[in-house]
Structures are given as structure tokens and as C-alpha cells.
Structure 1
Amino acid sequence: IAERCLPPVPVPPRSLVVERFPPMEKPRDIIIERWLPYGPFPERRTIVRPAPPPIN
């Protein structure tokens, strides 16, 4: 009688579920049109005023 060790039974591969969703639509570009005045740009007024005291 010949005795032989057989290799173990291979483990079946795990099943992998892959769900593919349709790609989301890319948002459209936002186009802002603005007419630029001719000539030099007017100076911008900067308003500076002190802040109120902090609330305790």
C-alpha cells in the first residue's frame, strides 16, 4: 500500500460584485459677461470705520 498526501482542496475565489453607476453630468461652465468701460478705471472708494467693541 502506497500512502500519499494530497494537496488541500483549493479555496474557491471570492465573488466580487462591482456596480457601475453612470457618470454624473459635469456642471456647465458659468459665464459672466461684463462690459468694461473705455478709458482709465475710476478709483475705488475704500470705506474704513472702527469695529464695535467685543461682546463679553
Structure 2
Amino acid sequence: MDPQTLKERISAIESKRETLLRLLEQPDLGTLRIDVNQALEEIDDLIDEFKRTFPESEMI
């Protein structure tokens, strides 16, 4: 996979992160909150790793 395609996919994932943040604001989330928090942590780790691997890349 070329770096540009990878960058596009990471950008798409990063944009979906906002949806998870809005989901956390829901008061009736219950135990699903644990899964949403875990997903956010994994997305953040993925974005950090991408930025370390391709430091010259500009994200959205």
C-alpha cells in the first residue's frame, strides 16, 4: 500500500473519531461506554503511530 492511500485511510478513520466522541455524550450509553472508550484509545494509538512513521504527513 502506498503512503498516500494509507494517509487517506487514516484521515477517514480520524474523521470517524468525532462520531465516537459524540456517542460518549449520550447519557443512556450504559456498558457500551467501555467499548467506545476502547475504540477511541485504539484510534488515537493508530494515529500516533502513523504520525511517528510518516512525520512529514499532514493530517486533516
**Would you say same fold, with TM above 0.5?**
no
Report the structure, 1 or 2, having the larger helix content. Answer: 2
Q: TM-score, normalised by structure 1?
A: 0.19
Report which structure shows greater RCO (CA 8 Å, sep ≥6): 2
Q: TM-score, normalised by structure 2?
A: 0.18
